Amino acid sequence: MAADQLSVTFAALADPTRRAILARVAQGEATVMELAEPFRLKLPTVSKHLKVLRRAGLITQGRQAQWRPCRLEPAPLKDVADWVERYREIWEERMGQLSDYLRQLQDKEETDGSEE
């Protein structure tokens, strides 16, 4: 995998389990067990997902007794948002055209189609 930060972040997000973990952690801190519970995954597997998220800077893990509570670190998500924002103009323009096209189709149908 490429070493640059954005690539690492995208790679970390390219897994539904990890995105679900982020969604859970966004609600508040959670232990590894709590994170593992919704998925039918063994602890080591979840632990490795967390490692990927940690390397991407998307979470940090503290220490409270034998627990390692996970906390969301949203900075890389802002980077993603900033990156994708550059394309907003393009998709809004194209989606607009698509809407126009669909509207045309509909108009056409209403014109030469049977009303009722």
What's the CA gap between 100 and 94, in Å, rounded? 10
13 binds, among DNA, its own copies, none (CB under 5 to 8 A by kind): its own copies
Count of residues that interact with DNA, criterion CB under 7 A: 28
The closest alpha carbon to 6, from 86, 89, 81, 88, belongs to 81
CA within 13 Å, CB half, 107? 6
Tokens of residue 34, six digits = 């709590």
CB-nearer residue toward DNA: 47 or 79: 47
101 binds, among its own copies, DNA, none (CB under 5 to 8 A by kind): none
What's the CA gap between 89 and 87, in Å, rounded? 5
Cβ proximity of 109 and 39 under 8 Å: no
67 binds DNA (CB under 7 A): yes
Residues that bind its own copies (CB under 8 A): 1-2, 4, 6-8, 10-11, 13-17, 19, 22, 26, 72, 74-75, 77-78, 80-81, 83-88, 90-91, 94-95
Query: Closest distance between its own copies and the C-beta of residue 113, in Å?
Result: 28
- Region from 21-29, 44-52, 86-94, 98-106 binding DNA, contact rule CB under 7 A: 44-52
Strand partners, 30: 70
